[in-house]
């Protein structure tokens, strides 16, 4: 009798998008009657891979072509030399990648994974697909047609396990599944449970955040079940001129809960507080009782779906605390997966609970393929928030279980640390551009975390939950010459590195540093009193003017560190290095680029870029 082994879906995510995509693949498989399991790569024993028959890999790329943390152990196993070219000969696979085409190594993790699986003898079900976050509809623009082809291809591979849609449940059938989570309400006899925003007791506030986050459906790239520590802001300084058109701030923090430790080049992740007015509006709009004490628990584990609530002890928290610390109600725009034409989408679920017929019809239209262009105009271009969407459809009354499942999780925001632990003991500094933009319909939008930080008053001593982790720029040894390129706020990590090197030079010899900083004009000149050789031009131009000094340091074994916007800057800087190597080294441009590639492989060329 043929083994009816189902579909295994393995994902590797850094910020949560790959989880969303993987769970969507799982939902569609489930509705077709296909047995499936959805797991993170670090939850699956890679040595068991040959026993699987059909596997879909969903892998994001982080940084400059890096694997997500959850993929690193899995990838190391696959690279073992003793795995022959027939090790996966019974396995059929498909790869969907999530990346950003503004990065030089676009979707590198998915490309490497696809090639390695082929080398190990696995057979592709369908050609790999690469989702691009730069597309107006995000990665979903590529995922939609790819999924349609995937089901047809799986039917060809094993029609018994993966029958065609006509032989199984119609995925467009208008039925509502059970939500993935259930809310348990507790009678705590009036016990006061403090929130992180008001509690003077850091340990108590930390426990509240830990409890709420452990119950959140959102997965996170690091272990954030409990905050590493709390910081308090001690300085909030405007770096740009008031008439520059940009708002860039220098923030300083100190610990109030426990000692912290970091190195230059590290990253600080901050859990921002949401606008209490918006949180209250969401609670009122959804008819919620903010003072109820709840736990959020998985509603079974049907078909092996990932239990994204984790294994932490989940003591009750107030409903308001849960909304404040886990549900992004007023800054995140519902992405395409919210609106996709499936019953687990926000619009489809909203249509089920809509009491007004005209609202129901509009919701169903938005969730249909025919409504995709209008949905893009309504949602993506205007970046409507969940709260705004709910307010646009006042007859919809959704149970809290569905809101927990469908509202985007509140994500931490990551910032390069701009201080040195030696030069700034017991302090953490950040250099942050306050984000704002105008939508096509002239709605002013603001970045949640940067705007919140800019509005904090240091004397109020607000407790901020944070996590430290290693960035893309490794801390250099004192003897390593450095070439640093950081236009705009890209200077942040280099302020820390330069300060650290200055401290090191006081106690012994250190290698030289050349730093290139660029800004639009004098009004945008950041840290003008700190840099010894300020430049107010494009960094690429100044690099080429200083090509002899740059080449001299490179031939002396210097490492190159680049930080800043991910749009054009990293590629332009690499091009400038190519011109310098070609000119000063007397070699063709192709040879110069190969030399730079070798520099990168040797761990001497590092890029930290952000959108």
213 and 113 within one domain: no
In the predicted structure, residue 220 carries a pLDDT above the cut 60:
no
Distance CA 152, CA 146 (A): 10
List the domain range (segments joined by +) for residue 194. Answer: 181-223+273-406
487 and 526 within one domain: yes
Domain harbouring 136, CATH code:
3.40.50.360
In the predicted structure, residue 222 carries a pLDDT above the cut 70:
no
Q: Which of 374, 406, 438 lies at the terminal end of a domain, its last residue?
A: 406
300 and 199 within one domain: yes
Confidence of residue 157 (pLDDT cuts 50, 70, 90): confident
378 and 303 within one domain: yes
Domain harbouring 526, CATH code:
3.40.50.80
Q: Does residue 318 form part of some domain?
A: yes
In the predicted structure, residue 219 carries a pLDDT above the cut 80:
no
Q: Which of 167, 189, 210 lies at the terminal end of a domain, its last residue?
A: 167
203 and 334 within one domain: yes
193 and 108 within one domain: no
Q: How many domains would you assign to the chain?
A: 3
Domain harbouring 333, CATH code:
1.20.990.10
Q: Does residue 474 form part of some domain?
A: no
566 and 512 within one domain: yes
Least confident of 258-267, 406-415, 460-469, 518-527: 518-527
Q: Does residue 158 form part of some domain?
A: yes
Q: Does residue 510 form part of some domain?
A: yes
111 and 60 within one domain: yes
What is the CB neighbour count within 10 angstroms for residue 75?
18
Token match 């993987």: residue?
A: 22
The most distant pair of C-alpha atoms in the chain lies apart, rounded to whole Å, by 80
157 and 24 within one domain: yes
What token pair was written down for 58? 């969903």
Select from 564, 593, 558, 576 the least CA-distant residue to 472: 564
Q: Does residue 425 form part of some domain?
A: no
What is the pTM for the complete model shown?
A: 0.81
Q: Does residue 2 form part of some domain?
A: no
Three-state SS for 249? strand
Q: Does residue 45 form part of some domain?
A: yes
195 and 319 within one domain: yes
Query: 70-129 pLDDT, tens per residue?
Result: 899 999 999 998 998 999 999 999 999 999 887 778 899 999 999 999 999 999 999 999
In the predicted structure, residue 557 carries a pLDDT above the cut 60:
yes
Q: Does residue 465 form part of some domain?
A: no
66 and 98 within one domain: yes
Is residue 70 within 8 Å of 42, Cβ to Cβ?
yes
Beta strands per DSSP E along 417-462: 428-433, 436-438, 444-446
Query: 124-146 pLDDT, tens per residue?
Result: 999 999 998 878 777 878 888 89
Report the sign of the C-alpha dihedral through residues 590, 593, 595, 597, in that order.
negative
487 and 379 within one domain: no
Q: Which of 137, 167, 197 lies at the terminal end of a domain, its last residue?
A: 167
Buried b (16+ CB within 10 A) or exposed e, 147-168: beebbebbbeebeebbbeeeee
């Amino acid at each position: 009798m043929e083994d009816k082994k189902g579909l295994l879906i393995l994902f590797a995510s850094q910020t949560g998008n790959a989880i969303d995509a993987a769970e969507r693949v799982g939902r569609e498989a489930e509705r077709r009657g296909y047995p499936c399991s959805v797991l993170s790569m670090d939850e699956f024993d890679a040595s068991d891979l040959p026993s699987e028959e059909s596997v879909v890999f969903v892998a994001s790329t982080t940084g400059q072509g890096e694997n997500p943390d959850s993929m690193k152990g899995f990838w190391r196993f696959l690279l073992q030399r003793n795995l022959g070219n027939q090790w996966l000969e019974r396995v059929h696979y498909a790869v969907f990648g999530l990346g950003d085409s503004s990065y030089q190594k676009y979707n590198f993790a998915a490309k490497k994974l696809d090639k390695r699986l082929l080398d190990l003898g696995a057979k592709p079900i369908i050609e790999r697909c690469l989702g691009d976050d730069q597309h107006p509809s995000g990665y979903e623009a590529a995922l939609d047609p790819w999924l349609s082809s995937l089901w047809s291809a799986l039917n060809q591979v094993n029609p018994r396990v993966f029958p065609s849609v006509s032989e199984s449940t119609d995925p467009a059938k208008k039925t509502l599944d059970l939500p993935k989570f259930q809310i348990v309400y507790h009678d705590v006899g009036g016990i006061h449970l403090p929130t992180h925003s008001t509690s003077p007791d850091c340990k108590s506030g930390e426990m509240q955040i830990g409890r709420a986050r452990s119950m959140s459906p959102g997965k996170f790239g690091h272990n954030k079940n409990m905050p590493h520590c709390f910081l308090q802001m001690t300085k909030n300084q405007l770096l740009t001129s008031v008439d520059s058109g940009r708002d860039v701030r220098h923030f300083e923090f100190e610990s109030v809960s426990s000692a912290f430790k970091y190195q230059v080049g590290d990253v600080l992740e901050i859990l921002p507080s949401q606008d209490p007015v918006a949180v209250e509006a969401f609670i009122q709009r959804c008819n919620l009782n903010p003072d109820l004490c709840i736990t959020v628990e998985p509603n079974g584990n049907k078909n092996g779906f990932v239990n994204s609530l984790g294994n932490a002890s989940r003591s009750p928290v107030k409903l308001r605390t849960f909304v404040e610390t886990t549900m992004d109600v007023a800054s995140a725009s519902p992405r395409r997966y919210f609106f996709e034409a499936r019953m687990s989408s926000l619009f489809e679920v909203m249509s089920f609970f809509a009491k007004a017929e005209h609202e129901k019809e509009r919701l169903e239209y938005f969730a249909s393929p025919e409504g995709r262009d209008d949905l893009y105009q309504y949602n993506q271009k205007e970046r409507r928030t969940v709260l705004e969407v709910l307010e646009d459809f006042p007859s919809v009354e959704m149970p809290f279980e569905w809101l927990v499942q469908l509202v985007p999780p509140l994500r931490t925001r990551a910032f390069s640390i701009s201080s040195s632990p030696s030069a700034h003991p017991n302090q953490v500094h950040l250099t942050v551009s306050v984000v704002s933009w105008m939508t096509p319909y002239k709605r002013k939008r603001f970045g949640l975390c940067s705007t919140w930080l800019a509005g904090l008053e240091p004397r109020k001593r607000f407790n901020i939950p944070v996590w430290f982790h290693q960035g893309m720029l490794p801390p250099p040894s004192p003897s390593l010459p450095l070439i640093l390129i950081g236009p705009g706020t890209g200077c942040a990590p280099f302020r820390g590195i330069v300060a650290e090197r200055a401290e090191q030079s006081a106690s012994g010899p250190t290698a030289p540093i050349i730093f290139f900083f660029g800004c639009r004009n004098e009004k945008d000149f950041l840290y003008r009193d700190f840099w010894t050789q300020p430049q107010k031009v494009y960094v690429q131009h100044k690099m080429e003017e200083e090509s002899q000094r740059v080449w001299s340091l490179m031939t002396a074994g210097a490492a190159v560190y680049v930080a800043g916007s991910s749009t054009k800057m990293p590629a332009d800087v690499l091009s400038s290095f190519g011109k310098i190597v070609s000119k000063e080294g007397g070699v063709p441009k192709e040879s110069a680029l190969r030399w730079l590639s070798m520099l990168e492989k040797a761990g001497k060329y590092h890029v930290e870029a952000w959108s």
